[in-house]
């Protein structure tokens, strides 16, 4: 089983999580509700850290919970255990193995605040260090690059949010995701074509905003590790505070532009980048017939609420990076220099 198969397994993996993981997610939600939680800290690395960024927006937008990204080096390099008062601490890691992520949960556990592990690996050090374990049920992920563990991490966070709010409508929207992700896989021929036309791509910026900032970061990581593209991800807001100076005619700009609060500003910005600088724009969107986004568009199904769209919008990005890697002669199943499990301390 290789990367392409694992991309295709995502609907089934999400379906499994929604059934087999629901009770554990409900228990974690109950624990957060029972404790005097005023904010959340998330410890994670790499792709899992992008799921943490998604959690910042979901728990922030839907629960008014400030969510911080942990600084594990404080614990491991400087020997400082932050004061976690009134916090819940979540560790996200498909392998559950990285010592620095585990160290943050260990510190939180010693301070007796609720700890939750979101992991694909039962019995892993991360799972062992947490009060509550949300298993992803994604099945073994063999490809070095994470795909199905990323989307299941997002869905675990989304369902946690729905159950935390006791929000039936939100829970039904989450349950609709496997079918939507299935439909999004149909974009593959477009993704392949757009990647093939860009066989020389070796640098780009990747833009998203709000819920889709996580997608921009994850798309950029897939571009780097699979296709060896220097891909620099930005929030569309931050991008205008300096990096905009990079642009010139033909500069590749990848952007995630779904419906929702971020859409108008993004469409306007991208229209300007095309008109003023003549950038080479590739977008992922659920909007139909938006001429300012240009022709190089990977269409995802509409109708999904914006807070859940990142589960869907990453699919064309994964396929684009996969096909670009193949076109460039890279082996998408075995990127050079890196391993499936990276242990950082």
Q: Which of 148, 224, 328, 340 is catalytic?
A: 340
Closest CA to 324 of 204, 200, 156: 200
Strand partners, 69: 42
Yes or no: say if 203 and 220 are a contact pair by the CB < 8 Å rule. no
When asked if residue 124 is in the footprint of ligand AGP (CB under 6 A), the reply is no
To ligand AGP, the closest distance from the beta carbon of 291 in angstroms equals 34
To ligand AGP, the closest distance from the beta carbon of 97 in angstroms equals 6
Q: Which of 80, 243, 342, 345 binds ligand AGP (CB under 6 A)?
A: 342
Instruction: Mark 199-228 with x for binding to ligand AGP (rule: CB under 6 A) and - for no binding.
Output: ----------------------x---x---
When asked if residue 144 is in the footprint of ligand AGP (CB under 6 A), the reply is yes
Query: Residues 87 to 106: which contact ligand AGP by CB under 6 A?
Result: 93-95, 98
When asked if residue 116 is in the footprint of ligand AGP (CB under 6 A), the reply is no
Specify whether 340 is catalytic: yes
When asked if residue 145 is in the footprint of ligand AGP (CB under 6 A), the reply is yes
Both tokens assigned to 221: 């990581």
Question: How many CA atoms, within 13 angstroms, populate the side-chain half-sphere of residue 312?
Answer: 32
Sorted by sequence, the CB contacts under 8 Å of residue 206 that are 6+ apart come out as 216, 217, 219, 220, 223, 231, 232, 233, 234, 253, 254, 255, 256
State how far Cα 116 lies from the chain centre.
Answer: 18
To ligand AGP, the closest distance from the beta carbon of 225 in angstroms equals 6
Sorted by sequence, the CB contacts under 8 Å of residue 180 that are 6+ apart come out as 301, 303, 304, 311, 312
Q: Which is nearer to ligand AGP, 189 or 344 (CB)?
A: 344
Instruction: Mark 47-76 with x for binding to ligand AGP (rule: CB under 6 A) and - for no binding.
Output: xx----------------------------
When asked if residue 231 is in the footprint of ligand AGP (CB under 6 A), the reply is no
State how far Cα 103 lies from the chain centre.
Answer: 23
Residues contacting ligand AGP: total by CB under 6 A: 16
Q: Which is nearer to ligand AGP, 91 or 252 (CB)?
A: 91
Sorted by sequence, the CB contacts under 8 Å of residue 52 that are 6+ apart come out as 42, 43, 44, 67, 69, 90, 92
Question: Which residues are part of the catalytic machinery?
Answer: 340
């Amino acid at each position: 089983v290789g990367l392409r198969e694992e991309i295709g397994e995502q609907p089934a993996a999400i379906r499994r999580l929604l059934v087999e993981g629901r009770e554990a997610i409900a228990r974690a939600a109950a624990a957060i509700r029972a404790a005097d939680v005023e904010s959340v800290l998330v410890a994670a690395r790499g792709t899992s850290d992008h799921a943490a960024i998604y959690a910042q927006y979901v728990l922030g937008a839907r629960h008014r919970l400030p969510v911080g990204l942990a600084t594990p080096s404080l614990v491991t390099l400087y020997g400082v255990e932050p004061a976690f008062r009134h916090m819940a601490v979540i560790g996200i890691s498909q392998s559950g193995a990285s010592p620095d992520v585990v160290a943050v949960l260990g510190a939180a556990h010693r301070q007796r605040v609720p700890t939750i592990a979101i992991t694909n690996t039962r019995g892993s050090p991360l799972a062992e260090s947490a009060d509550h374990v949300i298993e992803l049920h994604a099945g073994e992920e063999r490809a070095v690059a994470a795909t199905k563990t990323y989307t299941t991490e997002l869905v675990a966070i989304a369902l946690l949010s729905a159950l935390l709010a006791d929000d039936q409508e939100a829970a039904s929207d989450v349950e609709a995701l496997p079918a939507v992700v299935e439909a999004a896989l149909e974009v593959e021929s477009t993704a392949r074509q757009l990647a093939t036309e860009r066989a020389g791509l070796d640098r780009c910026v990747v833009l998203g905003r709000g819920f889709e900032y996580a997608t921009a970061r994850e798309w950029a990581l897939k571009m780097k590790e699979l296709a060896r593209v220097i891909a620099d991800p930005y929030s569309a807001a931050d991008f205008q505070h300096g990096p905009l100076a990079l642009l010139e005619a033909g500069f590749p700009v990848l952007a995630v532009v779904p419906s929702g609060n971020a859409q108008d500003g993004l469409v306007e910005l991208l229209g300007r980048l095309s008109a003023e600088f003549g950038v080479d724009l590739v977008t992922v969107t659920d909007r139909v017939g938006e001429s300012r986004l240009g022709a190089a568009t990977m269409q995802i199904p509409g109708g999904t609420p914006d807070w859940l769209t990142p589960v869907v919008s990453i699919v064309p990005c994964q396929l684009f990076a996969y096909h670009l890697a193949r076109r460039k002669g890279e082996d998408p199943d075995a990127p050079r220099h890196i391993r499936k499990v990276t242990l950082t301390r």
